[in-house]
Amino acid sequence: MGSSVRKGKAVLPAEQAARPSREQPRRAATEDYHHEAQNANNGQAITASCKNKDADLQFKIQAYIDKNTVMIFSNTACSLSAKVKELFKSMSIPYCSLELDQTEDGQKLQDVLYELTMETSVPIVFVQQKQIGDYDKTLKAHKEGKIQKLLETKGHDHMQDSYDYDLIVIGGGSGGLAASKEAAKYGKKVMVLDYVTPTPQGTRWGLGGTCVNVGCIPKKLMHQAALLGQALQDSRKFGWQFEEKAVKHSWETMTEAVQNYIGSLNWGYRVSLREKKVTYENAFGEFVGPHTIKATNNKGKEKFYTAEKFLIATGERPRYLGVPGDKEYCITSDDLFSLPYCPGKTLVVGASYVALECAGFLAGLSLDVTVMVRSILLRGFDQEMANKIGEHMEEHGVKFIKEFVPIKVEQIEEGTPGKLKVIAQSTDGREIIEGEYNTVLLAVGRDACTRTIGLDKVGMKINERSGKIPVSDEEQTNVPYIYAIGDVLEGKLELTPVAIQAGRLLARRLYTGATLKCDYVNVPTTVFTPLEYGACGFSEETALEKFGEENIEVYHSYFWPLEWTVPSRDNNKCYAKIICNIQDNERVIGFHVLGPNAGEVTQGFSAAIKCGLTKAQLDNTIGIHPVCAEIFTTLSVTKRSGGNILQSGC
Amino acid sequence: MGWEEKAARGYSEFVQAAQQSRGRPVFAFFSGDKDAQGRSWCPDCVTAEPVVRSELNSLPDGAVFIYCQVGDRAYWKDPNNEFRKNLKVTAVPTLLKYGTPQKLVEEECLNRELVRMLFTED
């Protein structure tokens, strides 16, 4: 039992002669041993009683080690024992010492200690249950700062060096990679497990998570492809001359280029992890017990690993409708960005930013696009802005079917793309409609990847309905050694930079004693619909609810980007709005812009908002001319006044 | 079956060697030209070559390893040289897996573990 087993050392039979120590003479305790043996009736009984005695002594030794932060097995006659005690006294570290020459069974205890520690003499020092050794080893450990380090860690149930890793990160996306690289910076032994379960269509991708492979990166590149198409049209008005029929778009060329770039990012992450000495395995990680996970690779091979701490960063995957034909025939954003053939006439189901951004760029590439929406657009976003986005898309050829949901998807024809029939029902149940499309893209929400990673085996609480993980403001779950970041979190923004920031700060808090927590307030975002939307802070609805109509002032205006004047594009569509808190110096608490390069515009203002930007400061800022963002330095019409904000020109 | 090495001097020889190896995994090491004594004008290439060669035994079966000398220093410094324009190889030494975005550039080539990773993983 006890530490002999833990250390993997054989328990030597008690009959073995006690080894004389260097520092102390043979003890009279041996006599006691003989006494007991002689009292026994036969050979076996002697053995038995020897073994029992041994077990008792092992137990006693172990108890001393376990119960004391610093344990010194010592001898009053031993000068090195005295020296080691002095050492701890000089460090003002309290210790417990057992003087073996003064203890009953002292010699036997010493023998047991030898079997446990392989130290032939006293003193034998333990710190936080970890064996340091004799005086020389203790002095060396002290000089290397190891003793201090051991004392700083709070008492653990397990010994640190019995774990395979300091930190295992499950999920190699934005959050997981940032946290693992940061932890490795501080010398921690880190492993990252990343695994992509193929989509129902069989799509898979490499290291880097959603953003890099099937999210932000390919989305923005395809959005750019669409914008360039528009720019080509505008260019004629600026004097560029070419035949209309010379302009065609190749889906395959675009997708190959995008995938190539993503491939270089996947590779870059592999190199980066290797260089920073983070172990990476392409395997599915799941908990099988406390501090233990099982990693299964795509060949089914299983490996088990233990770690002192874990970080769950498994993200989300697209939700399906749960209607016949959805998994067989529909695709999601997981499939779209690597689709080897042009999707053709597309039905996008959903009203999220994923749905609208995808519908937007597909239409921009001259595809026939319809969006089927159950209720409102962009739930959770400022609804005035959401509606303007929808209107703009409609004016530019995107068809909307509102208040309908698909109830069945059938295949009419196979092919790449094939032909699909979608049967949909109105939300009030009264009407059924049908439509034919080459591709049906589902974008009806994303589900957290927490159901199949064994969280029940470690007693982790998750939100049963959504699957998301509630955490403290330090990203700690209800299990003290398990943390979580990124899209899996309940109640937090699902954005790459948020996950990265949270991951880095968490690693610093865990391994450097830093205290800075992730600030989830006033995080700027941008929706890359054809008319881009950038926002920071409160939506108008939320501000009204929180502060009351009389306490907020909304300044707004339309604006016309100079670049759009010559091609006569979209006047009085671009829109700027700020929401100010009257009771707090007209502090800007909400920033909204609808127009080109909305992300670039919003980033700068979000820094100002973090500094406590007020309306007066904005008014005091001189604009840059001629750019879209300057509108924010000259806002004067409030919603309250009902004044006209239509523009007639520069 | 093992792996095979091909030597190429200059861009057209490289392209030829790569085309001859179609259907097989192709790895290429780009180095500055070596002089008559066998030393390259590119000092990092000199250091990297033994590291790369030490890991060649981890190449997959049937692989082709092309050792390509790109040209003299003047040719390389020209921003319009063919390697830069057509292959996007902008630094020497570069070690890459042809037809994929996987490559190691400059001091990355000196890292034995990275070289092994490039040769063995997909």
Compute the nearest-CA separation of B57 from chain A (Å).
20
Q: Which range among A22-36, A164-178, A276-290, A361-375 shows the weakest confidence by mean pLDDT?
A: A22-36
CA–CA dist A401, A500 (Å, integer): 37
**Residues 6+ positions from A206 with CB-CB distance below 8 Å:** A196, A213, A262, A263, A266, A267
Coil vs helix vs strand at A339 = coil
Q: What does the DSSP 8-state code read for residue B84?
A: I
Give a three-class secondary structure readout of A403-426.
CEEEEEEEEEECCCCCEEEEEEEE
Quick check: B101 and A264 CB within 8 A?
A: yes
Quick check: B117 and A270 CB within 8 A?
A: yes
Quick check: A270 and B121 CB within 8 A?
A: yes
Stated pTM of the model: 0.78
- Express each pLDDT in A506-516 by its tens digit: 999 999 989 99
Residues of B in contact with A278 (CB under 8 A): none
DSSP A588-603: EEEEEEESTTHHHHHH
Structure tokens at A308: 């002192």
Interface test with B, best of A271, A281, A299 (most B CBs within 10 A): A271
Name the nearest CA neighbour of A632 among A540, A555, A525: A555
The set of catalytic residues of B is 42, 45
Percent composition of chain A: helix, strand, coil (DSSP 3-state, to 5): 40, 20, 40
- Express each pLDDT in B64-109 by its tens digit: 999 999 999 999 999 999 999 999 999 999 999 999 999 999 999 9
Compute the nearest-CA separation of B106 from chain A (Å).
13
Beta bridge partners of A554: A579
Does the CB of A256 have a partner CB in chain B at under 8 Å? no
Angle, helices B112-120 vs A251-275, to 10°: value is 140
Q: Is the pLDDT of residue A27 over 80?
A: no
Higher pLDDT: A119 or B110? It is B110
Residues of B in contact with A263 (CB under 8 A): 100-102
Q: Is A442 exposed, middle or buried (0-12, 13-18, 19+ CB in 10 A)?
A: buried
Structure tokens at A592: 């909204």
**Residues 6+ positions from A317 with CB-CB distance below 8 Å:** A197, A334, A446, A447, A449
Work out the pLDDT band at A40, boundaries 50, 70, 90. very low
**What is the reported pLDDT for A103?**
85
| CA-to-CA separations, A62 to A99, A116, A131, A137, A350, in angstroms, rounded | 15, 10, 12, 20, 63
Question: CB-side exposure of A142: number of CA atoms within 13 Å?
Answer: 20
CA–CA dist A443, A168 (Å, integer): 32
Average pLDDT, chain A: 89
Quick check: B121 and A274 CB within 8 A?
A: no
CA–CA dist A84, A136 (Å, integer): 9
Q: What does the DSSP 8-state code read for residue B87?
A: I
Chain position carrying tokens 């590291």: B51
Beta bridge partners of A457: none
- Beta strands, E only, A134-251: 165-170, 190-193
Q: Is A210 exposed, middle or buried (0-12, 13-18, 19+ CB in 10 A)?
A: buried
Question: What's the full length of chain B, in residues?
Answer: 122
**What is the reported pLDDT for A49?**
46
Question: What's the full length of chain A, in residues?
Answer: 650
CA–CA dist A233, A397 (Å, integer): 15
Residues of B in contact with A271 (CB under 8 A): 104, 108, 114, 117
**What is the reported pLDDT for A68?**
84
Structure tokens at B15: 């392209």
Chain A segment 270-289 residues within 8 A of B by beta carbon are 270-271, 274-275
| ipTM for this prediction | 0.88
Q: What does the DSSP 8-state code read for residue A638?
A: B
Considering only the beta carbons, identify the residue of A260, A263, A274 that sits closest to B117.
A274
- Express each pLDDT in A570-600 by its tens digit: 899 999 999 999 999 999 999 999 999 999 9
**Residues 6+ positions from A240 with CB-CB distance below 8 Å:** none
